[in-house]
Structure 1
Amino acid sequence: KARYVLAFMGFLGMFNVYSLRTNLSVAIVAMVNSSGESDVNSSNVCPDRGQTSSDTANTNGIFDWNSAEQGLVLGCYFYGYIVSNVPGAWLARRYGIRLVLGIAMLLSSIITLFTPLAARSSFALFVALRIILGFFQGVSFPTMQGAWGLWAPPMERSALISAHIAGSSFGTCVTLPVAGVIADQLGWEAVFYVTGGVALLWSCIWLAIIHNSPSVHPRISEQERTYINDSIGVEKYKQEVLAPIADLASTPYVKLKLLTTRTPWLSMLTSLPLLAILTGHFASNWGNYTLLTMLPSYMSSILKFDLSTSGFLSSVPYILQFLFTLVGGYITDVIRKRALTSTIVIRKVNTTLGLAIPAAFIVLAGYIGCDVAAAVAFFSISVAFNALTVPGCKANTVDIAPKYGGIIYGMSNTLANIPGFLAPQVVGLILLDGNSVTQWQTVFWISAAIYLTGAIVYLLFGSGEEQSWA
């Protein structure tokens, strides 16, 4: 079925988005020369677990960046990312998902292929290229979220949204260990060549087979087209949403509708249910990005694993997150179809579990010393349960405003990705005073506090009803 093909391609697309995003988290361990670091910037609490065998490769990198500079490099991607979310959603609504996401990923893959050259040229050029990469990739999630306003029957929304978002977890759990092996065996440059090449291939396939809506898809069955359009009431707002995509604006009436239809920005910005979504999304991403960007460094500097092992262990939580995202979305839709509870109740249950449990276990992970099994287990529980925010507050955008789902998700994703650059830099500044267990405990407590704030705000103000302004 065409909507499942879109979900699968969206899954692979988000795989590539996160592959291009997280490749640096592992590669940077091999890129940076840490042989000259003083004792204050290293931890000797835990015994060596294979790090010595790769000391020459991992400490004699060619870049002399301190922890603050590394935090900037890891986070600067999000300076560009947050800028393009809302414009990307608007472009996708105006020109369709096929061109917007396809061209953005095509340019992202080319940028990634040139990353090693930029890094060797200058620090400033490397940072600039990562910012540009983030700018092009910022359109990805709002574009896919908006697509489901046209493609997803209401009772399949949680599962279809979860399916494409699960690609981000899968991309992380594959990229972290594979990038570690590639960096160990072929050098850090190869990490960017491989991930960039895979993304380039995906972009070409996407542009070849994906179409903007059921109404313009040449190969969709008439049965599926009718089912989707009837279930979401597409005829009711065809002129507002489909006309720019399907070239339906040929009559004076439709042209007038397009000219008089306005996005209700003020109503959106003053909506408490939207505020609740923004806060929950922000909280979810703060903890997620803290671990996504810094976990390989924690495994290497505190638990003393070599690069390949650090990458593998760092990927374990995201394997579980991938499974939780898919299963959570499926179970949520089953509950909604059977009317076991209201939409907002299941959204709030998912969001609470997805923020409160991660808060508890990320703190506990900082107090288990050198127990590797416990560390991996606690980080895994924290990251896995965070996935329940996908069928929770993150899917809620389509509930409260189906027509503006992409734009609202763009707004939410813009705010929620500020932690992408802020969290690594906060961690980098904390670690300037010493890369010790105590400093990392501070990092984890900050994440827990933000998690709990997001859960409380969403519980108080979240809504499952379509808003009057939508």
Structure 2
Amino acid sequence: MDNQVPPRKVPNFCSIRYGIALLLLLCNVIIMSQRVCMSLTMITMVNSTEPHGLSNTSTKEPQENIKNPVYNWSTEIQGIMLSSIFYGILISQIPAGYLSGIYSLKKMVGSALFLSSLFTLLIPLAAEFGEALVIICRVIQGLFQGIALTTQQVVWIKWAPPLEQVRLTSLSLSGLLLGPCVVLLITGFICDSLGWPMVFYIFGACGCALSLLWFVLFYEDPKDHPCISKSEKEYITSALTQQNGLLSSLPHLFAWIFAILAGHMSDVFLSRNILSLLTIRKLFTLLGLLLPALFSLCLLYLSSSFHGTMIFLILANATGSFCMGGILINVLDIAPRYYGFLKGFTNVIGLTGGLVASTVTGVILSQDQDSPWLKIFFMMVANNVISLIFYLIFAKAEIQDWAKETQNTYL
């Protein structure tokens, strides 16, 4: 009879896994501080009393400009500077998700935080040379911040026991909410007492120091950590023999991230008149239908390892969220008067499609013993491509005549 006692749960306050969650919390605080601080320093950086858009030179007040240089940037340039960081974040999502299954998480998270912090330190110098360099720095910042935010979630595959997944993940991600709070509390004080460049120097230096701490303290696998106790190591490794819950939740987590990015970017394109409304709807529908089809094919032919399979599966599911900026909101463009009715109607069609797909999948799995999943994935790809072609041909983005409200005029 086996009298082995299950591994004892290690108290939270003295565990390595909660130390890692705290490190990631601080990482996210720094990332958000670096992202948001320009929104507040811009008030001091720009001379609102001078004509904007004439040059990049600062005003002629030597004593004040020593700690607070002022630039003649137009409101349009200011808006581009503030939003440019999101372009970098958007670009980095898919490559970061793919590379996180290939390269060391320790190096990816630590290097991304360090490089984001380095370009934060360079912003005051870039401002002296011109607004274009500031925009470039912000885009590169966003690129590395996107890598850090995406790859850090993979840490919990090996470090989070199933019963603590939500707790550890929410603790680390809470830094994204705490960061803006920190910025609001101290940025004004720093600008007044030390000058706005010190805001970037302080947050950049803190990020560099934290990245070095990350390289020293983080290990990718509990069994490799030199400071972890035997009881905690046994608790984590034994609990992760039910790690399927976390792996199953990752596609939904990334789908949520992509949905937020899709909504933000579609509004940016529209508000800045970069693309027409119809083009925006078609672009995000194309991404939301074509990318899942592409990653599904990659899943069939390019996933030679467990990590590769997980990455392509996550991307195939998550990139469908781009439709949030396309076809899923298009009903509001063409018939706002009947939006509730039409959304309910399309939801019924979608649910019917889901029921049919489940039934067909079951039939194929029961009758085809050789390559059932190959047929299932090709059917999904074909459905996406046919739907996309139909949408690109017939999509509209203006209120239709049948959906316009009519006004009765009484004589």
TM (normalized to structure 2)? 0.55
Identical pairs, percent: 31
Q: What is the deviation of 1:65?
A: 2.2
> Which whole-Å CA distance do the structure 1 matches of 2:74 and 2:235 have between them?
57
Residue number among 176, 181, 195 corresponding to 1:187 in the alignment:
195
SS of 1:68's equivalent in the other structure is helix
The residue number in structure 1 matching 2:47 is 33
User: Which runs of structure 2 are paired with 1:239-258 in the superposition (5 Å)?
Assistant: none
The residue number in structure 2 matching 1:23 is 37
Range with greater deviation from structure 2 (82-91 or 96-105) = 82-91
> Which whole-Å CA distance do the structure 2 matches of 1:194 and 1:167 have between them?
18
Q: Is the 8 A contact 2:255 2:321 kept in 1?
A: no
> Which whole-Å CA distance do the structure 2 matches of 1:92 and 1:11 have between them?
19
The residue number in structure 2 matching 1:432 is none
Deviation string 1:324-368 (CA, Å, 9 cap, x unpaired) is xxxxxxxxxxxxxxxxxxxxxxxxxxxxxxxxxxxxxxxxxxxxx
> Which whole-Å CA distance do the structure 2 matches of 1:184 and 1:410 have between them?
49
The residue number in structure 2 matching 1:167 is 175
Q: Is the 8 A contact 2:101 2:311 kept in 1?
A: no
Change (3 A) 1:34 1:80: same
Change (3 A) 1:127 1:105: same
Q: Is the 8 A contact 1:26 1:179 kept in 2?
A: yes
Q: Is the 8 A contact 1:144 1:406 kept in 2?
A: no
> Which whole-Å CA distance do the structure 1 matches of 2:315 and 2:165 have between them?
14
Residue number among 114, 122, 125 corresponding to 2:133 in the alignment:
125
Q: What is the deviation of 1:101?
A: 0.7
- Does 2:21 match 1:13? no
- Does 2:214 match 1:203? no
The residue number in structure 1 matching 2:109 is 101
> Which whole-Å CA distance do the structure 2 matches of 1:415 and 1:96 have between them?
27
Q: What is the deviation of 1:153?
A: 1.5
> Which whole-Å CA distance do the structure 2 matches of 1:88 and 1:216 have between them?
24
Letter in 1 for 2:156: W
> Which whole-Å CA distance do the structure 2 matches of 1:111 and 1:203 have between them?
14
Deviation string 1:267-324 (CA, Å, 9 cap, x unpaired) is x9xx9x789646754488789x99xxxxxxxxxxxxxxxxxxxxxxxxxxxxxxxxxx
The residue number in structure 1 matching 2:310 is 404
> Which whole-Å CA distance do the structure 2 matches of 1:221 and 1:126 have between them?
46
Higher relative contact order (CA 8 A, sep 6+): 1
Q: What is the deviation of 1:206?
A: 0.6
Q: What is the deviation of 1:62?
A: 2.2
> Which whole-Å CA distance do the structure 1 matches of 2:317 and 2:143 have between them?
15
Change (3 A) 1:145 1:136: same
> Which whole-Å CA distance do the structure 2 matches of 1:410 and 1:24 have between them?
35
Change (3 A) 1:129 1:277: closer
The residue number in structure 1 matching 2:365 is none
How many corresponding residue pairs?
264
Change (3 A) 1:413 1:285: farther
> Which whole-Å CA distance do the structure 1 matches of 2:254 and 2:154 have between them?
19
Q: Is the 8 A contact 1:82 1:415 kept in 2?
A: no
Change (3 A) 1:65 1:22: same
> Which whole-Å CA distance do the structure 2 matches of 1:121 and 1:157 have between them?
46
Change (3 A) 1:97 1:276: closer
For structure 2, list consecutive stretches of 5 or more residues without a partner in the other structure.
1-14, 53-63, 269-306, 326-338, 355-372, 377-411
Q: What is the deviation of 1:406?
A: 11
Letter in 2 for 1:98: K
> Which whole-Å CA distance do the structure 2 matches of 1:190 and 1:72 have between them?
22
SS of 1:93's equivalent in the other structure is coil
- Does 2:240 match 1:232? yes
The residue number in structure 1 matching 2:405 is none
Q: Is the 8 A contact 2:256 2:321 kept in 1?
A: no
> Which whole-Å CA distance do the structure 1 matches of 2:190 and 2:313 have between them?
38
Q: 4+ residue runs of structure 1 moved beyond 6 angstroms? A: 273-276, 283-287, 413-416
Letter in 2 for 1:77: I
> Which whole-Å CA distance do the structure 2 matches of 1:16 and 1:279 have between them?
22
